[in-house]
Amino acid sequence: MAALAQLVLIGLLAGGIYAAVGVGFGLVWGVLNIVNLAHGALVIIGAYLTWQMFAAWGVDPFLTLPIDAIALFVLGYAVQRGVINRIIRAPLLFTFLLTFGLNLIAVNVLLLIFKSDFRSVTTAYSGAGLELGGLVIPYIRLAALAIALVMAALLAILLSRTRVGLAIQAVGSDRDAAQLVGIDLRHAYAVTFGLGAAVAGVAGGMIAMIQAITPTAGEPYTLQAFVVVILGGLGRVSATVVGGLVFGLVEAFGQSIPGSGSVFANAIAFGVMVLILVTRPQGLMGRLR
Amino acid sequence: MIGMPASRIWNRVFTALAMAVLAYAVLAPLSSLDVLQSLGMPLLTDKLWFRLATITAMFVVMASAWNIIGGLTGYAAFGNVAFFGIGAYTVGMLITKARWPFLLALPLAPAAAAVFAVLIGLPLLRLRGHYFAVASLGVGVAVGELVQNVDFRGEPLFGGASGLFLPILAVPNRDLYFFYLMLAAAAVAIGVTWAVLRSRFGYGLIAIRENEEAAAVIGVNTTAYKVAAFALAATLTGLAGGVFAQWNVFVDQENSFPIGYNVEMILMALLGGTGTVFGPAAGAVVLQLLIQFLSGSLPITLQIPFVPDDAMPVLAQVVLGVLLMLVVVFAPRGVIDFFGGRSTLSIAYLRRSLRETSV
């Protein structure tokens, strides 16, 4: 029983990170109809920003998260406005290749700057945790889960209650009609991508506190984000959060099976994805459109 | 040539150039034969030449194979490297564990890849668009991971992280042997594409690409056609993998399932022109030479001030990314479009391409 509770807890804590990574990916996919293969790179750029500020100036990693968000928003806005907007109406293969190219550039520029060494953010409180029936829950992971949930809630509120958010939703449901009512498409797209990047950056900042990072560490997160969004159902922030938590649980249970292990992370993710796509393509929380 | 449109002239120039390159590639290796060497023939091809030429031929196979599922059928397969790896591991396992001779093991490489493609294609090809693309990408990643990590009674089943070491094949002129073998595979891939494009099957695939529902309405068995196209692409890619395994004498996850190959083969097909017979092959030659040049493997290397030599391969990847961006943004119909006679490279063309796709 204790082992089961432990697995559930591990799963939920990991799921918080998956939700944080998936939310931005799902927003961009839902509104722009782009599967952003550079999403993992955006996550890892956020992670390196946090590491750089922590290592060079000793800034507390949690205080760097808003800076990650702002920096990644600016970067995302610029990339969408400057590059992706130019092929947004091209066939899917092109947006795929373009974002793959962006990923290649980002990862290799990071490699040029930071080399392929493992970097980690270790603070005075890194080892501390809450002891609960023989199980130690690191405070950092708890905080990461809380931040992920709060961030997702803020994003949901932004999308449903503000002018900008409504414009984004309008663009997502009908591009031409949105343009007719006077929404600046280029700006709306760029803001959407910027928001997705900002959320990815914060997720990356939290990942830097939890695991050692390298420039290529972001790549698994792209596939996992995709699985999370499919699992929850495309189109709503809350669905992606559920998808992230469920995926964390599935992974925790999958890796506890004897003979399995962390080496099968991608295979598990892929298995879950195919199962969902074939049996329930609209996702756990999705509505058929 | 007077009175001919400029594009026709270009067409002829490029055809002649391509024939010359091909003739050189086919004939130059003969100079390494002992008979000709003893007659005082200068050696035109060294070890490096054979390495580059064999890799280039390998990519011609992979780009042409991708063209069948991606270019003709319109399904953005992003995981074809799985077939390459399965081909490589089939040969590797049969030779190291079952002690089969290479030429007996080789035909099973494309067969294994094709069987896998049918099994995985039946569920996956029901998906469309983004879903198929990422699901196939997932296959590429997951198969490589499984091959490296699956254990059987505590022992790694497929050699694990340390990979498989194959015995060196005892043939005279080994380099020449494998180059011609890979070249033959490339010829088969191009020939198959040519035959498919002229067949009922090929028309069916193009119909699926243009409009799948309409294709089904006019009587194309879309599922069977799609799975067959996927299996055909897998067969050719698996063949390349099988030859690679014995040529390279070492297979592991990293050299048999490199995720980068997925995109390189697509970029090659795209650069040369998807849906054509020779486009992917031409794109493969050009892009592969460029990649090798940028990573410093060619005799002529690039020296950039302030950039240390060991950073060059990383920088090459950045250049590849930028190239990917430029091709996708400015020349979505492939560079061959400028030479095939349909368009000319001009500012107006670039602006039109941009206007068609941007907001």
Could you report the per-residue pLDDT of A15-26, keeping only the tens digit for each? 999 999 999 999
Residue contact A97–B148, C-beta within 8 A: no
Residues forming beta bridges with residue A142, ordered by sequence position: none
Nearest to A270 among B126, B142, B259 (CB): B142
What CA–CA distance (Å, rounded) separates A3 from B336?
61
- Judge whether residue A135 has pLDDT over 80: no
Last residue of a domain, one of B278, B293, B328: B278
* The pLDDT of residue B305: 67
Of B350, B339, B357, the closest CA to residue B7 belongs to: B339
Q: State whether B169 and B271 are in the same domain.
A: yes
Contact assignment for A277 to B78 by CB distance below 8 Å? no
Helix axes B81-96, B108-124, angle to 10 degrees: 140
Which of B310, B314, B351, B355 would you mutate first to test chain A, the one with the most A CBs within 10 A? B314
Distance CA B211, CA B259 (A): 30
ipTM value for the complex: 0.78
End-to-end CA distance of chain B: 43
Is residue B62 located within the same domain as residue B172? Answer: yes
Q: How confident is the model at residue A127 (pLDDT cuts 50, 70, 90)?
A: confident
Residue B2 included in any domain:
yes
Is residue B335 situated within a structural domain?
A: yes
d(CA B261, CA B280): 14
Q: What is the largest CA-CA distance in chain A?
A: 61
Chain A: residue whose CA lies nearest to B315: A108
Cα–Cα dist B199/B211, whole Å? 18
| Own/partner long-range contacts of A154-163 (Cβ < 8 Å, ≥24 apart) | A155/A23, A155/A27, A155/A195, A155/A199, A155/A237, A156/A236, A156/A237, A156/A238, A158/A195, A159/A27, A159/A237
Letter string b/e over residues A180-217, b meaning 16 or more CB atoms within 10 A of that residue's CB: eeebebebbbbbbbbbbbbbbbbbbbbbbbbeebbbeb
Of A262-271, B131-140, B198-207, B284-293, least confident by mean pLDDT is A262-271
Report chain A residues whose CB lies below 8 A from the CB of B126. 278
Position B171 in a domain: yes
Q: Region B23-39: what's the mean pLDDT?
A: 80
B27 and B92 belong to one structural domain: no
What phi, psi does B251 have (nearest 5°)? -125, 135
Summarised one tens digit per residue, pLDDT across range A235-273 is 889 999 999 999 999 888 877 776 555 567 667 777 777
**At residue B173, does pLDDT exceed 70?**
yes
B157 inside 8 A of chain A by CB: no
Q: Which residue has the higher pLDDT, A152 or B170?
A: A152
**Is B356–A89 a contact, with Cβ atoms under 8 angstroms apart?**
yes
Q: Chain B residues with CB inside 8 Å of A263's CB?
A: 145, 148-149
Mean pLDDT of chain B: 85
Say yes or no: B30 and B68 in one domain.
no
Would an 8 Å CB–CB cutoff place A275 in contact with chain B? no
> What is the total count of domains within chain B?
3
Pairing of strands B155-156, B151-152: antiparallel
Chain A hits for B71, CB-CB cut-off 8 Å, are: none
Mean pLDDT of chain A: 88
Q: Name the percent of chain A in helix, strand, coil, to the closest 5.
A: 75, 5, 20
Residue B257 within any structural domain of the chain:
yes
Residue A224 or residue B354, greater confidence: A224
- The label of the residue with tokens 């390298």 reads A214
The reply to whether B347 and B256 lie within a common domain is no
Distance from the Cα of B156 to chain A's closest Cα (Å) equals: 12
Residue in the block written with tokens 């390494």: B32
Which pLDDT does position B36 carry in this prediction? Answer: 78
On the question of pLDDT at B11 being above 70, the answer is: yes
Q: Picking from A181-190, B41-50, B239-248, which range would have the lowest pLDDT averaged per residue?
A: B41-50
Question: Is position B211 within any domain?
Answer: yes
- Interface contacts (A, B; CB < 8 Å): 140
Asked if A239 and A159 touch (Cβ cutoff 8 Å), the reply is: no
Q: Which of A122-136, B42-56, B208-222 has the highest mean pLDDT?
A: B208-222
- The CA R_g of chain A, rounded to the nearest whole Å, is 19
Residues 238-277 of B with CB under 8 A from A: 259, 263, 266-267, 270
Which of these ranges, A211-215, B79-83, B265-269, has the smallest mean pLDDT? B265-269
Nearest to B329 among A29, A86, A274 (CB): A86
Give the separation between CA B9 and CA B7, rounded to whole angstroms: 5
CA distances from A163 to A166, A167, A177, A199 (A): 5, 6, 16, 19
Residues B237 and B117 placed together within one structural domain of the fold: yes
Tell whether B119 is within 8 A of chain A (Cβ).
no
Report if residue B286 sits inside a domain.
Answer: no
Give the end of a domain, one of B263, B278, B293.
B278
- The amino acid at B215: A
Domain holding B233, by residue range, is 46-278
Task: Provide the token pair at A268.
Answer: 């598990």
Q: How far apart are CA A228 and CA A239, in angstroms?
A: 9
d(CA B319, CA B300): 18
> pTM of the predicted model, to two decimals?
0.82
pLDDT at B48: 84
Say which residue the tokens 């003739």 belong to.
B23
Of the candidates A86, A92, A108, the beta carbon closest to that of B358 is on A86
Nearest in space to A22 (alpha carbons), one of A244, A215, A192 = A244
- Provide the sign of the torsion angle of the four alpha carbons B30, B33, B39, B43, taken in this order: positive
Q: B254-286: buried (b, 16+ CB within 10 Å) or exposed (e) per residue?
A: ebbbebebbbbbbbbbbbbbbbbbbbbbbbbbe
Q: Which two tokens stand for residue B51?
A: 């390495």
Same domain, yes or no, for B82 and B161? Answer: yes
Q: Tell whether B41 is covered by a domain.
A: yes
pLDDT greater than 60 at residue A288? no
- Chain B residue whose CA is closest to A37: B134
Pair B88, B109: CB distance under 8 Å: yes
Most confident among A162-176, A247-261, B317-331 (mean pLDDT): A162-176
Regarding whether B169 and B126 lie in a shared domain, the answer is: yes
Q: Do A189 and B130 touch (CB under 8 A)?
A: no
Residue A70, pLDDT score: 97
pLDDT in tens, A208-225: 999 999 998 888 888 889
Judge whether B251 and B166 are in contact, CB under 8 Å.
yes
Query: What is the pLDDT confidence band of residue B345, given thresholds at 50, 70 and 90?
Result: low
**pLDDT at residue B342 tops 70:** no
Residue B295 included in any domain = no
Per the CB < 8 A criterion, the answer to whether B270 and A97 are in contact is yes
CA end-to-end span of chain A: 41
- Using the Cβ of B76 and the Cβ atoms of chain A, whether some distance falls under 8 Å is answered with yes
Residue in A with minimal Cα distance to B137: A223
* Residue with more model confidence, B309 or A145: A145
Helices B312-330, B279-294: crossing angle, 10 deg rounding: 150
Do residues B59 and B147 share a domain?
yes
Is a pLDDT exceeding 70 seen at residue B344?
no
Note whether B149 contacts A: Cβ–Cβ < 8 A: yes
Q: Chain B within 8 Å of A168 (Cβ-Cβ)?
A: no
B66 and B25, same domain (yes or no)? no
Question: What is the torsional sign of CA B155, B157, B159, B162?
Answer: negative
A43-57, B63-77, B85-99, B330-344, range with the lowest pLDDT: B330-344
| pLDDT of B1 above 60 | no
CA pair distance B231, B215, nearest whole angstrom? 20
Helices (H), B28-126: 34-38, 47-66, 81-96, 102-105, 108-124
CB contact under 8 A, B123 and A274: yes
The DSSP symbol for A213 reads B
Mutation target for B interface from A34, A39, A97: give the one with most B CBs within 10 A: A97
CA distance A31 to chain B (A): 14
Number of alpha carbons in the 13 Å side-chain half-sphere of residue A239 = 20
Q: Which residue has the higher pLDDT, B57 or B341?
A: B57
Q: Is the pLDDT of residue B81 over 50?
A: yes
Residues B156 and B238 reside in one and the same domain: yes
Same domain, B217 and B273: yes
Q: What part of A 233-262 touches B (C-beta under 8 Å)?
A: 259, 261
Sign of torsion over alpha carbons B252, B256, B257, B263: positive
CA–CA separation, A203 vs A43, rounded Å?
Answer: 6
Q: In this predicted structure, what is the pLDDT of residue B67?
A: 95
| Beta carbons within 8 Å of A175's beta carbon, 6+ residues apart | A185, B359
